[in-house]
Amino acid sequence: MGRVLLLDADGRHAKQVEGALRAISCQTTISADLQSSISLLQRQQFDAVVVVSNPGMDWDIRVEFIRHAALRLPEPPLIVCLLRGLYRGPNERVYAARKGFKVVYEQ
């Protein structure tokens, strides 16, 4: 995959995800907040952006901000939302497919 921007407010969890990405040869940049992530996205080229959603958060709002920033780039990265909560049916995946990003659930 290459270079990955990881948006995760939970530092401990971000380090775990970074380790998993490193195991598949990804260079990961961790960002804890949305504004910093958008700034990094505008300054550096990434192959993918992973937005981690904590349970109870409005995950779709954060992804929308990232998606809009990415679509302004000459080569938009793949956008993935990593949902940490329980699987709640196909609605999230259908929504993501319509908007042009992917949703995966943390096991």
| Sequence-ordered strand ranges (E) for the chain | 3-7, 27-31, 48-53, 78-83, 102-105
Is the pLDDT reported for residue 6 higher than 90? yes
- Which pLDDT belongs to residue 55? 58
> Which residues on neighbouring strands pair with residue 1, listed in sequence order?
none
Inform me whether the pLDDT recorded for 1 exceeds 80: no
pTM: 0.90
Chain centroid offset of residue 26 CA: 14
pLDDT of residue 54: 66
Residue 107 CB partners (closer than 8 Å, separation 6+)? none
Q: In the predicted model, what is the mean pLDDT of residues 71-82?
A: 94
Torsion region of 56: left, alpha or beta (phi above 0 gives left; psi -120 to 50 gives alpha): left
What digits encode the pLDDT tens for the residues 14-43? 999 999 999 999 999 999 999 999 999 999
Question: Which residues have CB under 8 Å from 63's CB, separation 6+?
Answer: 51, 79, 81, 96, 99, 101
pLDDT at 8: 94
Residue 26, both tokens:
């990804």
CA 8, 29, 102, 66 torsion-angle sign = positive
pLDDT band at 91 (very low <50, low <70, confident <90, very high): confident
Task: Give yes or no for residue 107 having a pLDDT over 90.
Answer: no
